[in-house]
Amino acid sequence: MLHLDFFNAQILAQQLVSGADSFSLMAIPFFILAGEIMNEGGLSKRIIDLPMKLVGHKRGGLGFVAILSAMIMASLSGSAVADTAAVAAMLLPMMKTTGYPIHRSAGLIGTAGIIAPIIPPSIPFIVFWCCQWCIYH
């Protein structure tokens, strides 16, 4: 397109700005902001304390705590990366001191973080909905 002179940079810039100018896409930065507020306010520690009291006393309890914490964080933040980072920052040192191998702990927390994109509200769901809405309207 560039070689055949069918390319207009002004139209490209206009389409990029108008595509990002969506009320629904504003949810994504607000999810990130909510995650930061939760982290600074100490809510992340409390989110991990709840599963710790529910299943932490069982055999392999920290593994269950990691999965439940990831699910709760995913339902609040909507981001798999933020969810995994928050859970790993809290639970990896705890799992290391209780004798879990570090590679198994990291693998468990990483796979628990994959749950986030399928638990609503989810950033990929919002992007998918915006794309579908633009196609049909």
For every residue of 79-136, DSSP letters joined together read: -HHHHHHHHHHHHHHHHHHTT--HHHHHHHHHHHHTTGGGSSS-HHHHHHHHHHHHHH
Query: Does 32 reside within a domain?
Result: yes
* pLDDT one-digit tens code per residue, 34-70: 777 877 888 888 988 999 999 989 998 999 999 999 9
pLDDT on residue 136: 64
Query: Does 131 reside within a domain?
Result: yes
* pLDDT one-digit tens code per residue, 63-116: 999 999 999 988 887 778 888 888 898 899 999 999 999 999 999 999 998 887
Is 53 in a helix, a strand, or coil?
A: helix
* Residue 62 near residue 100 (C-beta atoms within 8 A): yes
Query: Does 18 reside within a domain?
Result: no
Of the two residues 31 and 68, the one the predictor is more confident about is: 68
- The owner of tokens 């990483």 is 110
Query: Does 2 reside within a domain?
Result: no
Look up the pTM and report it.
Answer: 0.72
Name the band, by pLDDT with cuts 50, 70 and 90, for residue 132.
Answer: confident
Q: Within 13 Å, how many C-alpha atoms sit on residue 84's CB side?
A: 16
Backbone angles phi, psi at 104, to 5 degrees: -75, -35
Query: Does 6 reside within a domain?
Result: no
